[in-house]
Each structure stands twice: as structure tokens, then as C-alpha cells.
Amino acid sequence: MKEIIAVVRMNKVSDTKRALVESGVAGFTATKVMGRGRLVQDLSLIAERRKTLLAMTNENDAKTEKLVTQFLDGTRFFPRRMFNILAHDDEVPKIIESIINANRTDNHVGDGKIFVLPVSDAIRVRTGETGDAAI
């Protein structure tokens, strides 16, 4: 039995939910979180995204520019969604593949992370079932 933790972009929440349901996941929990990943080393990626984000706003003031810059250089947290999924060991590769397919973008940064952890036990509160039967 494993726990899969997937941290994804907010605009990919619906795609991720759909992918999990289509891959046969029995249930999952989603939580709004804030965080940031590794800082981008290729400054040209940030420069291009900065230009795109500033072009999307109607304002070109110093406050907006500061927010966009902080968002891209890692000094601000990013809003994300964290999915927690319990799965049987043999289902894990299929679930991971579906999460990756739903979340991979052409942005080359910030597509999320997936962590797989062992779970020693699970208990279904309603019935008292334990272990794999509780999933």
C-alpha cells in the first residue's frame, strides 16, 4: 500500500481529477497549498514568462511588475493543489502516469512534483476494515 502525493498547478486541478477518476482511483483528497520549487537557472525562461505575464495585465505599474518578478524568481510562494491518494502497490505506476499526462506543459518549469510513500496501515472508519480492504 502506498500514498501518492501530487503537487500540481491550480489550472490543472480539473484535468488531474478527471485523470485520477479515469485511471480507477477509488478516492483522493485535494488541498490548497502554497509553495515553490527549485529556482529556475535559465534566466531566459523567466524573462519570456515575465514578458508574457506583464502583457496579460492591463496595468504596467511598478507594483504589478514587482509581483510578477517575485512570482517568477522564487521569492513568492506559488498557489498549488496537493492531491493525496492511497493506492495498492500494483496501481501506483498507472496513477503516476495519469498524473504526469494531465500536468505536463510546454513551460519547462513548474509542472509539479509527485511523491510516493509507503503506508503501514489504513482503517476505514465506517466499517473498521484495515489494510488493503480499507482502500
- What CATH number should be reported for the domain holding residue 102? 3.30.70.120
What percent of the chain stands above pLDDT 90? 59
Q: How many domains does the chain have?
A: 2
What percent of the chain stands above pLDDT 70? 86
- Grid cell 509527485 — which residue? 114
Beta bridge partners of 80: 9, 33
71 and 132 part of one domain: no
106 and 116 part of one domain: yes
Domain hosting 58: range is 39-76
94 and 131 part of one domain: yes
Write the burial class of residue 114 (CB in 10 Å: 0-12 exposed, 13-18 middle, 19+ buried). middle
Is the distance from CB of 16 to CB of 80 less than 8 angstroms?
A: no
Q: pLDDT tens digits, residue range 24-78?
A: 998 999 999 998 877 767 777 667 777 777 776 665 677 777 777 776 666 778 8
pLDDT tier for residue 114 given thresholds of 50, 70 and 90: very high
What's the pLDDT at 57?
Answer: 67
69 and 125 part of one domain: no
